[in-house]
Amino acid sequence: MSQATMTRRYPEMEGKVALVTGGTSGIGLATAQAFAHEGATVIIASRSEKRSKSALKVIGEKADWIACDVTNGGQVERLVASIVERHGRLDYAFNNGGSGGAGRPVGNMSEDAWRKTIDGYLTSAFLCMRHEIPAMLANGGGVIVNNSSVDGLRGYPFPGGAAYAAAKHGVLGLTRSAALEYAKSGLRISAICPGWIDTPPVHGGIKRDSQFAASIIAQEPIGRLGTASEVANGVLWLCSDAASFALGSPLILDGGYMA
């Protein structure tokens, strides 16, 4: 038995198929790596082929990339159909990919920026679920985890984040409602709510603004940012058989912020 096999926590993931949107960096990449470590075949979906090449080298040989803009329903439909055609099944999906418009206080936010943010973080989750659910049900079930945020549980702490918070609140409403719709079908739907995580965008903000860095650390009772791997650990637990009674309610990973 190899060392990698010995340290696997979820042997039931061996041979399964996992989709991670936004899987080329940060939380998505860490989650894709974690699925691959457990023996799953991993498909990462994103818009950037250049980033995907670097990500695939990190994830390993049991990984593939499919181009997809998750705000485009046709592309999402083709993504899921391609996975089923190539691999015959879809067992796990982490709907993590997202993007938004320029943040502004509500009174001077443009309609275009609002729509880009809602589409980028909320409509994208709906579109993914819309096509993942039938694919999973055709194979007897599966697990979907949506990436929300602590900003889906409270107001955004800085000016300009209202649209993002609204989208992430929406992700939780979508998750809870869909989880109830499919609770008896063999399909589990859950969400995670990360706090401040050391991802490339957050790291960039910290480097640019020391005051911003101090303010977000002050929001974390644990005294530090979370890591992408810590969030990935939560996603894999939700997907595992160990979480068989967990559905609908979000898993909060925030270093104590919401406590």
pLDDT of residue 202: 81
- Token pair in block for residue 208: 């640019």
The upper half-sphere exposure of residue 144, i.e. CA atoms within 13 Å in the direction of its Cβ, equals 30
Active site residues: 164
pLDDT band at 6 (very low <50, low <70, confident <90, very high): low
The tens digit of pLDDT for each residue in 140-162 reads 999 999 999 999 999 998 899 99
pTM: 0.94
The class level of CATH for 12-199+228-250 reads: alpha beta
Q: Which pLDDT belongs to residue 3?
A: 41
**pLDDT tier at 2, thresholds 50, 70, 90:** very low
54: left (phi over 0), alpha (psi -120 to 50) or beta: alpha
Element (H, E) at 146: strand 142-147
pLDDT in tens, 7-39: 889 999 999 999 999 999 999 999 999 999 999
Mean predicted lDDT score pLDDT of the chain: 93
**Which of 254, 67, 13 has the alpha carbon at shortest distance from 148?**
254
Q: Is the pLDDT of residue 203 over 80?
A: no
CB burial of 157-176 (b: ≥16 within 10 Å; e: otherwise) equals eeeebbbbbbbbbbbbebbb
pLDDT tens-digit series, residues 40-63 = 999 999 998 888 999 999 998 889
**Which SS3 state, helix, strand or coil, does residue 193 take?**
strand
